[in-house]
Structure 1
Amino acid sequence: MSKKGNLFSFVGAAFALIATYITSAVPIPLYGIYQTADHIGYVELSLSSVVYFIGAVTALVVFGRLSNHLGRKPVAVISLLLAALSTLFFLNVHSAAPLLLGRLCQGLACGLASTALASWVVDCAFTVRAWIAPAILSCGPMTGLTIGGLGSGALTEYGPIPRQLPFYVVLAVLLVCLLFVLRSQETMAPKSGAMRSLKPNFALPPSAKKAFPLAACTFVCTWALGGFFQAFGPAMAREQLHSTSAVAAALVFASIMAPSSIGASLAGKMSSKRAQFAGMLSFTLFVGCILFTLSSGLLIPFLIASVLAGIAQGMVLTGSIQTMVSELTADERANVLSVIYATSYMGAAVPTLIAGQFSEHFSLLQVAGAYGVLALLGSVILIAAKLKQKSAGAITDN
């Protein structure tokens, strides 16, 4: 089968994927304002993250294979338009309703982007080095969240209209992305069966199915902590680290997201399974450091620990995704990616929902401790699997 796509299409799809996630992070530094000025509480803030994750999972499960039938470009355009629509809700947030509606649109946009745009990236991966496409898939969302969070924090803290300016800026970015996408080369010819594709399908090809259990374990453990930072990052900055600055809130959120690309590049220099294993153990260690610095109220050491955890997170996610996508055909990519991201989003949504309820009765530090236990459990599972594999290899050799 001849390869379709070109470098411009790869760059356009990658740029649009990241921009969609930039949009989803823009409201987060404003959560402190929503709390103090509009009296939106912890339950509503955690619910906004859950609604976002539900929107993403719905898009992944129901519409995840739609780009195989309509083409990558039309579905990518829809995802960008949904991201743009979300900003309109956030221009006038004074209660929970527009916050929830905006986050729902962002979730749907990110879910569609995670299949159509991510599949488009893989379609054009032959135009770049082998490790770059998996790095975009694993760290593109994190990179977008980082840029969105930090940019929004700076504009909120120093801009003339803090509650609106970040959303005007991101609307301009989305417009540029739309122009890129419209000029990019389609890699999937339209074909029949679009309506049938809406029926959820969790079947995986053999290579991806074999790698899925351990990969899913790492997706849940790492994305769960990301969900906690997304929902409670500003609260941690204010309550545990004693800073009311929107920039500090953005730094807390971004510290776990930004360094993932470094981890992705490190994963590119080793085998996917080694990156998965070493990344997960390192991630668990640095989550422990996060909890220690958070309990001590030390902002700078906390940010350093979060950066190191983010690097480890990028390593484990890139390794895990590579174990699942390296042997896929073009028709298999969208469905496998939808399973990957649906698992990741659910791994973030369920703990965030539970954390929102527990935050009414326990301190944020106590809630954060549960995420440390989850990371430790993930490492134990990977160690057990590695020991079992070695044991099976020894038996085979004998």
Structure 2
Amino acid sequence: MSSIQFSRAASFTVATLALVGCFIASGVPVPLYNLYRVENGITDADLALTTVFYLLCTALSLLFFGRLSNHLGRRTVVFGAVLTALAGCLVFMQVQSLPVLILGRALQGIACGAASSAAGAMAIDFSPRSRLRWLPSVVTSNLPIFAIPVGAIASGVLVEYFPHPRILSFAIMASILAIVAVLIPFCPETADRKPGALRSLIPRVEIPQGAGRAVFATGAGLLATWSWGGFFQAFSPGLTSDYLGTSNALAIAVVFASFTILSPLGGAASARIRAVPSLRLGLVLFSISVVLIAVTLHAGSILWLLLAALVAGFFNGQSNNSGMRAVFEYVTPSGRAGTLATIYLISYLCSAVPGLFAGELSRHLPIPHIASLYAGLAIFGTLVALIVARPKATK
């Protein structure tokens, strides 16, 4: 252990940077997808499959490693997650075929899964003891979603306007992750090492006592919102190029980012509203927004598509943050990592499973029709959440 120890605030910042850094890295490849389509013959269905591999690897990482930081310590698992994300960047520098693309995406998925639980729990451990107590829920529920489009937009600029488009953005991201990795050992450890690390790898879904209804309602909301995140990740290059008339890498990144860029704002804006009413309101308005997205796709209007996606992203943030708060009303400190892993596991499965079917459907249906099916799925998830969600009973 380092003799120099960061303060609580500095450690919170490092944990947040580790979490955000892994997710920023996962957004970097998106603007390159159209380049891979044109130069390497990778199809929309292949990209959808790649997205499914990324999401499933994230989910499996959460399932197997979600509680590991309770035994090895937060820093060890966070450090491993950052190094895995760095390795993913190095693999992406070599992409010339679908298997290499899938490998790079799989490494990023493993990194995001491990960071979601360990870095998220570490950020909560060091959370501010002040009026900013709402900040950890925004960091854990909204910042990862926000970080992916940030990485995509930055990468889109580099791909479109700078040399070496296949390498430069990954080289920069790898350097940033290396710096974060160097900072992690200077943070105090908040989870002492204890026996049972191997036993913790046995898959187990952890639901806090009394939180079953809250987890079910939040999961239904995540089906509505995260399924659309998978849609934009898989199909943004195709719909931008084929339906909106441009193959500009930055335009692809902007279309992809439009859905999630306002998520943290929605999460922060809803922080003072009670969790369950905020969840219900956010999901209803989200469903209306994604119906508008499907309509604008059929009309081929990029301006209205972007506006509808921005609005959906705001309410995506509100509902995700509210669902997280509703669940964490039941969580004890020792259950933070496991509960976070459970919520993120549900999130990624809700994105991966629809994506698996959508990838196959894309061989037979145009993207606007697939968007309509996703809108129907969002309405279904919203209705279930509205029926199930209940405020926590007070004694």
Q: Same fold (TM over 0.5)?
A: yes
Q: Deviations over 1:313-350 (max 9, x none)?
A: 00000000011113322211111111100000000001
Structure 1 residue 240 displacement after superposition? 1.8
1:77-116 correspondence to structure 2 within 5 Å = 77-116=79-118
Structure 1 residue 132 displacement after superposition? 0.7
Q: Would you say the 8 A contact 1:242–1:297 is kept in 2?
A: no
Structure 1 residue 127 displacement after superposition? 3.7
Q: Which of 6, 9, 20 in structure 2 is aligned with 1:7?
A: 9
Q: Would you say the 8 A contact 1:240–1:295 is kept in 2?
A: no
1:27 aligned onto 2:36: no
Larger mean CA deviation between 24-33 and 287-296 belongs to: 287-296
Structure 1 residue 276 displacement after superposition? 0.5
* Closer, same or farther: CA 126–207 of 1 in aligned 2, 3 Å: farther
SS of the counterpart of 1:151?
helix
Aligned-partner Cα distance in 2 for 1:376–1:368: 13
1:145-224 correspondence to structure 2 within 5 Å = 145-224=148-227
Q: Which amino acid aligns with 1:56?
A: T
1:357 aligned onto 2:368: no
Q: Which amino acid aligns with 1:316?
A: S
Aligned-partner Cα distance in 1 for 2:63–2:56: 10
Q: Deviations over 1:43-96 (max 9, x none)?
A: 221111111111111111111100000000000000001000011111111110
1:279 aligned onto 2:282: yes
- When normalised by structure 2's length, the TM-score is 0.95
Structure 1 residue 208 displacement after superposition? 2.8
Q: Which amino acid aligns with 1:36?
A: V
Aligned-partner Cα distance in 1 for 2:150–2:300: 25
Q: Would you say the 8 A contact 1:5–1:124 is kept in 2?
A: no
Structure 1 residue 305 displacement after superposition? 0.7
Aligned-partner Cα distance in 2 for 1:201–1:127: 31
Aligned-partner Cα distance in 1 for 2:247–2:367: 16
**1:45 maps to which residue?**
47
**1:305 maps to which residue?**
308
Q: Which of 260, 263, 271 in structure 1 is aligned with 2:263?
A: 260
Q: Which of 217, 227, 232 in structure 2 is aligned with 1:229?
A: 232
Aligned-partner Cα distance in 1 for 2:192–2:277: 37
**1:384 maps to which residue?**
387
Aligned-partner Cα distance in 1 for 2:124–2:247: 41
* Closer, same or farther: CA 362–258 of 1 in aligned 2, 3 Å: same
Aligned-partner Cα distance in 2 for 1:36–1:23: 23
**1:117 maps to which residue?**
119
Aligned-partner Cα distance in 2 for 1:195–1:384: 39
Q: Would you say the 8 A contact 2:216–2:388 is kept in 1?
A: no
Percent identity, aligned pairs only, is 33
SS of the counterpart of 1:179?
helix
CA RMSD, Structure 1 to Structure 2 (Å): 1.6
Q: Would you say the 8 A contact 1:208–1:336 is kept in 2?
A: no
Structure 1 residue 186 displacement after superposition? 1.3
Q: Which runs of 5+ in 1 are unaligned?
A: 394-398
**1:396 maps to which residue?**
none
**1:65 maps to which residue?**
67
**1:348 maps to which residue?**
351
Structure 1 residue 176 displacement after superposition? 2.1
Aligned-partner Cα distance in 2 for 1:122–1:316: 20
Q: Would you say the 8 A contact 1:6–1:127 is kept in 2?
A: no
Aligned-partner Cα distance in 2 for 1:256–1:155: 21
Q: Which amino acid aligns with 1:235?
A: G
**2:3 maps to which residue?**
none
Aligned-partner Cα distance in 2 for 1:185–1:208: 30
**2:371 maps to which residue?**
368
Structure 1 residue 384 displacement after superposition? 3.0
Aligned-partner Cα distance in 2 for 1:207–1:143: 30
Aligned-partner Cα distance in 2 for 1:186–1:327: 24
1:239 aligned onto 2:257: no
Structure 1 residue 298 displacement after superposition? 1.1
Q: Which runs of 5+ in 2 are unaligned?
A: 1-5
Q: Which amino acid aligns with 1:298?
A: S
- When normalised by structure 1's length, the TM-score is 0.94
**1:16 maps to which residue?**
18
Aligned-partner Cα distance in 2 for 1:258–1:360: 29
Aligned-partner Cα distance in 1 for 2:338–2:356: 26
Q: Which amino acid aligns with 1:371?
A: Y
Aligned-partner Cα distance in 1 for 2:98–2:385: 40
Which 4+ stretches in 1 moved above 4 angstroms? Answer: none
**1:330 maps to which residue?**
333
Structure 1 residue 269 displacement after superposition? 2.1
Q: Would you say the 8 A contact 1:114–1:337 is kept in 2?
A: yes
Q: Which amino acid aligns with 1:219?
A: L
Aligned-partner Cα distance in 1 for 2:140–2:105: 22
Aligned residue pair count? 386
